[in-house]
């Protein structure tokens, strides 16, 4: 879901001449530029301070939002590079064939970008599985990431349980990394 959202941002940044896309580009860099604790605090503030968002505190939604925002820099930059590679004429010929913007986006751009987007999603999953300081502030006892769980377990003295959790994280990220690697190979040898 994050990948789809970011592909739109990347598309806007590369293809359009909309005013304000420079600002959008800068905003995409922010989550990586400011410390995680600060970003988490900001989010916490937003979710607690805004009545509309308050019910989401303590739910998984909040964690997803934090994770999605955390991945924005990497994802948009990778997708941007991919859009530059993708010839503009592929979209233009779709427009000339009679497809509107959204039809072109979902029938032409999206399938051609799909492999990169899966890769972005995989990388983001790996980040999510590892620790993220922004999450510390947002997680409650029911919803927490594996790394937080491990931290709690260490603090409570359950060292064996904690190491099992850590091993789980390692296995998960390694497994995903292998998937990503094989995917990258597929993309690499695809001859046009």
**What are the tokens at 101?**
């913007």
Q: Which of 64, 69, 99, 146 binds another protein (CB under 8 A)?
A: 99
Please name which of 53, 24, 1, 44 lies closest in space to residue 134, comparing C-alpha atoms. 44
The whole-angstrom separation of Cα 81 and Cα 18 is 19
Q: Are 3 and 117 in contact (CB under 8 A)?
A: yes
Judged by CB under 8 A, which stretch of 42-50, 90-98, 127-135, 146-154 contacts another protein? 90-98
Q: Are 141 and 156 in contact (CB under 8 A)?
A: no
The whole-angstrom separation of Cα 24 and Cα 20 is 6
Residue 155 sits in the site that holds another protein (CB under 8 A): no
Kindly state the smallest distance separating residue 80's Cβ from another protein, in Å.
Answer: 20
Restricting to residues 101-140, name those near another protein by CB under 8 A. 103, 107-108, 111-112
Judged by CB under 8 A, which stretch of 38-46, 86-94, 152-160, 163-171 contacts another protein? 86-94
Residue 87 sits in the site that holds another protein (CB under 8 A): yes
Q: How far is CA 49 from CA 41, 53, 98, 160, in A?
A: 12, 8, 47, 39
Q: What is the DSSP letter of 141?
A: S
Residue 160 sits in the site that holds another protein (CB under 8 A): no
Kindly state the smallest distance separating residue 108's Cβ from another protein, in Å.
Answer: 6
Size of the site for another protein (CB under 8 A): 19
What does the binding site for another protein look like in residue numbers (CB under 8 A)? 87, 89-90, 92-100, 103, 107-108, 111-112, 191-192
């Amino acid at each position: 879901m994050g990948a789809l959202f970011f592909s739109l941002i990347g598309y806007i940044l590369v293809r359009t001449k909309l005013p304000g896309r420079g600002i959008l580009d800068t905003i995409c860099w922010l989550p990586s530029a400011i410390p995680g604790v600060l970003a988490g605090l900001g989010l916490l503030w937003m979710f607690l301070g805004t009545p509309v968002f308050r019910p989401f505190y303590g739910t998984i939604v909040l964690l997803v939002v934090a994770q999605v925002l955390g991945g924005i820099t990497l994802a948009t930059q990778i997708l941007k590079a991919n859009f530059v590679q993708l010839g503009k004429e592929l979209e233009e010929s779709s427009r000339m064939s009679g497809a509107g913007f959204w039809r072109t986006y979902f029938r032409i751009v999206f399938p051609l970008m799909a492999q990169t987007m899966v890769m972005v999603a995989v990388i983001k999953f790996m980040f999510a599985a590892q620790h993220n300081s922004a999450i510390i502030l947002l997680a409650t006892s029911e919803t927490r990431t594996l790394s937080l769980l491990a931290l709690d377990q260490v603090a409570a003295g359950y060292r064996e349980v904690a190491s099992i959790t850590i091993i789980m994280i390692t296995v998960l990220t390694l497994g995903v990394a292998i998937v990503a690697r094989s995917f990258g190979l597929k993309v690499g040898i695809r001859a046009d």
